[in-house]
């Protein structure tokens, strides 16, 4: 059970509720976010005097669910929030937000060549990993700060926004200096301290769904971020792990309309990780837009067969241009522009 306090309540008010709980033989756990004050009720087994709590000063409402979604809930008539994608674009508006780039930042020249091609084809942002989460400790872990510098140079040359992953709390500040959007990857969707840390700075966050997470866990992860005060969150579906083996992951596109129904946050789809096969990226990009996605996150590379990671799911630069060309009529049919 959760007691939602009025955001303007004082410490005295929350103390009062905790004391009330104490007299009932219960404990209260106080959570103070940038604009939320909430008290979790602990130790009960159902027989709680709800009326007394509801009448306490500054108590707004009592919720039975253990994991409520309080921020960014969509009410009837609400619009999707347009989250900035650098200075010149947004994710969640009428224009689709296309983010493209290599899995990992490999070297400066290759990155710049990719950036220019992405820009040319109509992308709004460049993605590229300077810090790479890898299953094995013996795999390339990214060029770190050097990679960030190259990304910043690519932005200067092309005007593309920079989207890059941050994996460690102590890197957040540094990555935020270079990037326009901080990506929290699938492996870190449950890394609550990282979520809280990116929630306390001001750069928008692209949050990827864990590959075995429920929609409630996904929205709760977004809640961790927003609790810190940062409301600029984009949600990204990137496929779940199932019994299927012809794909790397099963892209669960019904999540897109479901997320948009429950929340005002914009929704992005990653058809590259979501399928693991280059030839499935274009049809699934079309499908993602057709069911309401606000944008795409696509892996592209100058020479996918020589990529340091994820080559088989990356498009080459020509294929990406052709993907963008093919998306146009679908986007228009959905009342969106590219």
Alpha-carbon span 132 to 43, nearest angstrom? 41
Residue 252 near a copy of itself by CB under 8 A:
yes
Residue 306 near a copy of itself by CB under 8 A:
yes
Residue 16 near a copy of itself by CB under 8 A:
no
- The residues, ordered by sequence, that sit 6+ positions from 26 with a Cβ below 8 Å of its Cβ are 41, 42, 43, 44, 48
Residue 29 near a copy of itself by CB under 8 A:
yes
Binding mask 45-64 for a copy of itself (x = CB under 8 A): x-------------------
- 209-213's contacts with Cβ under 8 Å and 24+ in sequence apart are 209/235, 209/236, 209/237, 209/238, 209/240, 209/255, 210/186, 211/186, 211/238, 211/239, 211/240, 211/241, 211/249, 212/240, 212/241, 213/189, 213/240
Residue 332 near a copy of itself by CB under 8 A:
yes
What are the backbone angles phi and psi of residue 292, rounded to the nearest 5°?
A: 110, 5
- The residues, ordered by sequence, that sit 6+ positions from 199 with a Cβ below 8 Å of its Cβ are 205, 224, 225, 226, 227, 228, 229, 230
Residue 169 near a copy of itself by CB under 8 A:
yes
Measured from the CB atom, is 16 or 141 closer to a copy of itself?
A: 141
Residue 204 near a copy of itself by CB under 8 A:
no
> Which residue from 188, 232, 272, 314 is in contact with a copy of itself, where contact means CB under 8 A?
188
For a copy of itself, how many residues bind (rule: CB under 8 A)? Answer: 87
Q: Could you tell me the smallest distance in angstroms from the CB atom of residue 167 to a copy of itself?
A: 7
Residue 167 near a copy of itself by CB under 8 A:
yes
> Which residue from 127, 191, 203, 301 is in contact with a copy of itself, where contact means CB under 8 A?
191
Q: How far is it between the farthest Cα atoms of the chain?
A: 69
Measured from the CB atom, is 149 or 217 closer to a copy of itself?
A: 217
> Which residue from 74, 108, 168, 174 is in contact with a copy of itself, where contact means CB under 8 A?
168
Q: Could you tell me the smallest distance in angstroms from the CB atom of residue 170 to a copy of itself?
A: 8
Measured from the CB atom, is 55 or 138 closer to a copy of itself?
A: 138
Q: Could you tell me the smallest distance in angstroms from the CB atom of residue 86 to a copy of itself?
A: 28
> Which residue from 60, 113, 216, 319 is in contact with a copy of itself, where contact means CB under 8 A?
216
> Which residue from 9, 115, 172, 253 is in contact with a copy of itself, where contact means CB under 8 A?
253
In the window 93-152, what residues touch a copy of itself (CB under 8 A)?
A: 106, 133-141
Measured from the CB atom, is 77 or 87 closer to a copy of itself?
A: 77
> Which residue from 121, 224, 267, 272 is in contact with a copy of itself, where contact means CB under 8 A?
224
Residue 2 near a copy of itself by CB under 8 A:
yes
Residue 43 near a copy of itself by CB under 8 A:
yes
Measured from the CB atom, is 11 or 31 closer to a copy of itself?
A: 31
């Amino acid at each position: 059970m959760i007691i939602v306090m009025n955001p303007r309540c004082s410490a005295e008010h929350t103390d009062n509720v905790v004391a009330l709980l104490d007299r009932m033989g219960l404990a209260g756990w106080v959570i103070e976010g940038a604009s939320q004050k909430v008290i979790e009720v602990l130790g009960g087994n159902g027989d709680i005097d709800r009326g007394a709590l509801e009448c306490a000063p500054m108590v707004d409402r009592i919720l039975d669910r253990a994991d409520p979604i309080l921020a960014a809930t969509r009410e009837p008539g609400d619009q999707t929030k347009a989250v900035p994608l650098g200075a010149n674009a947004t994710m969640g508006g009428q224009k689709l937000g296309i983010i493209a780039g290599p899995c990992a930042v490999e070297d400066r020249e290759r990155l710049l060549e990719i950036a220019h091609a992405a820009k040319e084809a109509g992308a709004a942002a460049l993605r590229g990993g300077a810090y790479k989460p890898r299953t094995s400790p013996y795999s390339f872990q990214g060029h770190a700060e050097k990679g960030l510098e190259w990304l910043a140079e690519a932005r200067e040359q092309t005007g593309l926004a920079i989207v890059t992953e941050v994996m460690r709390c102590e890197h957040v500040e540094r990555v935020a200096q270079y990037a326009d959007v901080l990506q929290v990857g699938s492996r870190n969707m449950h890394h609550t301290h990282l979520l809280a840390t990116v929630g306390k700075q001001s750069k928008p966050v692209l949050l990827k769904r864990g590959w075995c997470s429920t929609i409630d866990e996904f929205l709760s992860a977004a809640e961790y971020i927003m609790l810190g005060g940062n409301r600029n969150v984009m949600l990204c579906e990137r496929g779940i792990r199932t019994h299927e083996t012809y794909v790397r992951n099963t892209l669960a596109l019904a999540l897109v309309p479901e997320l948009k129904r429950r929340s005002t946050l914009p929704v992005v789809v990653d058809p590259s990780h979501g399928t693991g096969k280059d030839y499935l990226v274009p049809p699934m990009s079309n499908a993602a837009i057709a069911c309401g996605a606000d944008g795409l996150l696509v892996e592209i590379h100058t020479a996918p067969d020589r990529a340091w990671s994820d080559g088989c799911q990356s498009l080459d630069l020509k294929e990406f241009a052709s993907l963008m060309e093919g998306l146009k009529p679908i986007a228009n049919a959905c009342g969106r522009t590219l």
